[in-house]
Amino acid sequence: MAYLTRSPISLDTLLGEVSAPEHGGTCVFLGTVRNGPDEQGVTAIEYSAYEEMVEVEFGRLLDDAGGRWPEARIAVRHRLGVIPSGEASIAIAAAAPHRAQAFEACRFVIEEVKRRIPVWKKELRVDGTATWVDPSGRPTARPSDLHA
Amino acid sequence: MTATGTARVRVRLFARYAELVGRAETAVSVTLPATVGDVVRRLRDEVPAARALPERPLAAVNLRQVKLDARVQDGDEVALLPPIAGG
């Protein structure tokens, strides 16, 4: 299973992977590149990854989700490369017999992605600067600050 | 049984860590028994630019996140991971 892509994410493909007559609820999460007041002119984010580990860790993550919601079917894609603001970097589709399971499974997957999938992002700004981003969304420390 | 001898370990660096060190991959030798923490210390000793890395980075061995006291064996791939920021 390839969870990574360098192309725009096709939501139709993801939905096709999880749809089934017995699934009455489908929850979709899209994470998109943000350029809000706090981002100071972000035109795009460049995503990179430990790609071999991402593929196996996504498999483990979905196994964990399957253990919690055995009736759910979940599909996920994470996009790499330079992604313009407004476009999706990750998409998750979770389908289940009832909506509560679908919402819970979808939320579980994105929270676990943030915790354990080795992907990194560098914000690219309109002024030509680029900044690695830490998990809280703030720029990382300068190298000289690392020992502080 | 505890392994003895020397292990040659592939070390991979990603994102900001690769930029700081100026390379995405290297290899170090450590005396067994050895841990991921020993690999990090050896890297910092052998590669001057690696001293810019944190002393206790997030790490993975053979595609699985581990703590720094995890043991390494000859031929292992140790990855030093900047704080994860996907999604």
Q: What is the ipTM of this complex?
A: 0.94
The pLDDT of residue B4: 78
- What confidence tens digit (pLDDT) does each residue in B26-42 have? 999 999 999 999 999 99
**3-state secondary structure (DSSP) of residue B77:** strand
Q: Please tell me which of the candidates A31, A119, A147 has its beta carbon nearest to residue B84.
A: A119
**What is the length of chain A?**
148
Distance CA B55, CA B52 (A): 9
DSSP annotation of A133? B
CA distance B10 to chain A (A): 14
- What confidence tens digit (pLDDT) does each residue in A15-72 have? 999 999 999 999 999 999 998 888 789 999 999 999 999 999 999 999 999 999 999 9
Chain A CB contacts of B85 under 8 Å are: 119-121, 132-135
Residue A107, CB-side half-sphere exposure with 13 Å CA sphere: 6
C-beta separation of B82 from B14 below 8 A: yes
Architecture (CATH level 2) of domain B5-81? Roll (3.10)
Average confidence (pLDDT) over A115-132: 95
Cβ A116–B87 below 8 Å, yes or no?
A: no
Q: Where are the domains of chain B?
A: 5-81
Q: What is the set of domains in chain A, with CATH numbers? A: 4-145 (3.90.1170.40)
Above 50 in pLDDT, residue A142? no
